[in-house]
Structure formats: C-alpha cells, structure tokens
A and B are shown apart, each in its own frame.
Chain A
C-alpha cells in the first residue's frame, strides 16, 4: 500500500465528511511544486456535453493528437482521470477551493458506484468550477 500525503479531515466549505461516504483525497507535501502549478491558467472550458454537477465521473485519458487511449506504462491498462465539479453554492469562487486545498488538501465525495479500480497512481483529479472562467469580464471594474 502506498503512503501518500493525506488530506486533513477538518470541516470544509461543503461541510464535514459523512460516515459511509466514499472520498477521493490528496494531501500536500512540503516538497514539490506550488499548488498554482496545477491550475489551468488560463482556465479551460468544459467540453460540450459534460455534465458533472453532482456526478463525478471517470474519464479515459486519450492522446490529444491521435485520440488513442493512453496506457499506463507499468500495467499496460488505460489511464482514467476523475472529473469533478466544485459547486459554487459551497465555494463561491474558484480561489475559495484553491485556498482550502492549500490549507487542508483536496477532498471530494464520490459516487460509491464508480469503478474505483480503474484509478491508478497516474490518474489525475480534474476539478471544474462554474466561475473559473469569468464570462462577463467587461462588467468588471478595476479595484479602487
């Protein structure tokens, strides 16, 4: 069993963990790259047809050029990533979740019916926030 950094089980913007729930998590290491390294900057839109609200899903990673499945070099099996929605009702803006992750690590509840055996060490958690892309940017005013 690998021993990765764990998230801190403290109360979060979306509340406390529920007994019996299935959670995916990642703690932070004092080493490595800053959290900002893992942000999409500029943020990218979700593809049309993706509905993640309350529906985290596993998505098979494909080569962006050939559309062929990306295989795990150790196991030869396809690599699956987790696509997860961060709700604006609990985290109004994307930085709210970023700052929480900086403090407590990332932790999201999953649907217990997901086939988690598809996840490997090469899987990524891809988090999407509805306000990550500022649509009415023309309406914004410069800070005083």
Chain B
C-alpha cells in the first residue's frame, strides 16, 4: 500500500509522510522514542536532519546520552547555517558594492546620494587600496566580539569599542574625507 492509496482513505498526506520518515529514523533513536524518552516535537525536528546528522544523533543515543530538544535544535541550526553559507557568501558579494543605507528621514523614496566616505568603499576590492573608514569600522565590528572571549585582549577590546564609536560618529556626520585618491567612481544610489 502506498501513500497515495492511504490518502484516498482521507489520511492526511503530509502527516503520513512525516510519520513514515519518523519510522525510518535510525534504530537507537527509535528505541528511545518507543521508550518515551524523546518527545514527538523533538522527533519532528530529527526528521529534518540529514541522514548523516541522524546517524550522529543515533550514535549519541547508543552511548546513553540524552537526546534533548536543545541538542537537536542546535544540530538542526548548525546544519541549516552550513547550508545557508553559499547564500550568505553570495549576499556578501552582491551587496559589497552597495553602500549602507544612510536614509534621510525626509527622503521620499529611500534614495540617498553617496557620501565621500561611501564612495571610498567602492575602491575596496583592490588589496593595495587604502582602507576607507567604513571598511575599518566593518573590520573592527567583526574583530571586537572576539576580544571578550580572550582575557589577554581585554584592553584591546576596550580600545576597539572606543574606535568603533568614534568611527560611527564620524560616518554619521559625513565629515571624513575619503582615504582613496583614485578617481571618483560613478555615483551609487540606494535601492531598497
């Protein structure tokens, strides 16, 4: 009997598919489900894991580890983040040339002419090009969170935060001149 046959008897197709996937989970996981140690909600999340991840969870179950909702949620999140990496990379490249949206409150359509600083960022792709303040801010923004995890970088972290604040103020006020001396690129616009 197939799912199509069962669906003709008014069984819900998606519910049947999910239950079938549950029934096909690795043995050690099924044992814990049948023993009432794993809830239906957690089982639903496990169905969404790849077979490799399911095998890893099964291995943990075999070793007597508790298969908690938090653990499965973490595994699923990591799996999806890994899968989304190409999307994030593509987005990073696609938006790299687009300046940050410094939208004016009075602007009718989100259109904003670029500032000297933003124009500086468009020269960023060359490795020998000088860094613009926006790029330095971006780099510091990525670096600063790491300092809190390392006691040896406490002072560096504090200085980084001060520099970030100063750069944010400078960027907001648009008074810093571009560091690049290359030709001014064609004017960019914001498109939201």
* A17-35 interface (Cβ within 8 A of B): 26-33
B126 within 8 A of A: no
A137 within 8 A of B: no
In contact, B48 and A49 (Cβ under 8 angstroms): yes
Q: Say what secondary structure dominates the interface of chain A.
A: loop
A142 within 8 A of B: no
Given A4-B192, A73-B137, A73-B168: A40 and B81 interface contact (C-beta under 8 Å): no
In contact, B80 and A47 (Cβ under 8 angstroms): yes
A99 within 8 A of B: no
A68 within 8 A of B: yes
Taking the closest CB of chain A, its distance from the CB of B175, in whole angstroms, is 18
Q: Mark B146-182, 1 if CB is under 8 A from A, else 0.
A: 0000000000000000001000100000000000000
In contact, B48 and A48 (Cβ under 8 angstroms): yes
Q: Please give, as numbers and ranges, the residues of chain B lying within 8 Å of A28 by CB-CB distance.
A: 191
Taking the closest CB of chain B, its distance from the CB of A139, in whole angstroms, is 22
In contact, A29 and B83 (Cβ under 8 angstroms): no
Q: Please give, as numbers and ranges, the residues of chain A lying within 8 Å of B189 by CB-CB distance.
A: 29, 31-32
> How far is it, in angstroms, between the C-alpha of A23 and the C-alpha of B111 when the chains are bound?
23
Q: Please give, as numbers and ranges, the residues of chain B lying within 8 Å of A68 by CB-CB distance.
A: 142, 145
B138 within 8 A of A: yes
In contact, B48 and A47 (Cβ under 8 angstroms): no
Given contacts A32-B192, A62-B88, A64-B88, 9 further A-B contacts (CB under 8 A): A3-B105, A31-B111, A38-B94, A47-B80, A48-B80, A48-B83, A50-B80, A73-B141, A124-B91
Which B residues contact A (CB, under 8 angstroms)? 48-50, 76, 78-92, 94, 98, 100-101, 103, 105-111, 137-138, 141-142, 145, 164, 168, 189-192
Which A residues contact B (CB, under 8 angstroms)? 1-5, 26-33, 37-38, 40, 44-51, 59, 61-64, 67-68, 71, 73-74, 121-122, 124, 126
**Could you list 23 A-B pairs, sorted by A, with CB under 8 Å?**
A2-B105, A3-B105, A3-B107, A3-B108, A3-B109, A4-B109, A4-B192, A29-B191, A30-B109, A37-B94, A40-B90, A46-B83, A48-B83, A49-B48, A49-B79, A49-B80, A49-B83, A50-B83, A62-B84, A64-B86, A64-B92, A73-B164, A74-B168
